[in-house]
Amino acid sequence: MHKIFLLRHGKAANPKEGQDDYDRPLNKKGIAQINLVGYELNVPENNIGLIITSSALRTKETTEIANFHLNISKIKFDKNLYLAKHDVIFHQVKQMADCKEILYVGHNFGIGDFATYLTGEAISMSTGMVVEISLDIENWSQLEKDCGIITNTFVPKTHVP
């Protein structure tokens, strides 16, 4: 049995004039969301050994904040995961995952579609949302459509004036 935690990046700042979408940082709400997520994920029953993430600024910041709580030494950034569709995420996870529990940090709509692909359940992910999926596989090469079951979801509730 393997497990994947899917985390959509926190709420991002609106783009400034001339700013590339790839370079948008988290805003105050996004920072607060991901601090709650990191705290929520930092429990003894979670044994996350790897974070796989898009290399966009908002996912890098999301990873950094969550990892402040988790203290995971193995992080793999991949530019191909920026706004990736579910099939790209699927391929990259199969190739990059090397431990039983991983955290994937990404963007909508690909991350929600990936969760749906793995579980057969229609999932829409809000910013900062985590979906925990237990996978009926012995190794990542066996990852396939409908092999997972949602075991937990977490939507961080924050208020930033």
140-155 confidence digits (pLDDT tens): 999 999 999 999 999 9
Share of the chain above pLDDT 90, in %: 98
Look at residue 66 in the predicted model and tell me its pLDDT: 98
Contacts with 49 (C-beta within 8 Å, 6 or more apart), sequence order: 72, 74, 98, 99, 100, 101, 102
Calculate mean pLDDT across residues 22-39: 98
Residue 159: pLDDT band (50, 70, 90) is confident
Calculate mean pLDDT across residues 5-26: 96
Whether this model's pTM surpasses 0.85? yes
Residue 35: pLDDT band (50, 70, 90) is very high
Give ∠ CA 15-17-23 in degrees, rounded to 5. 45
Helix (H, G, I), strand (E, B) or coil at 101: strand
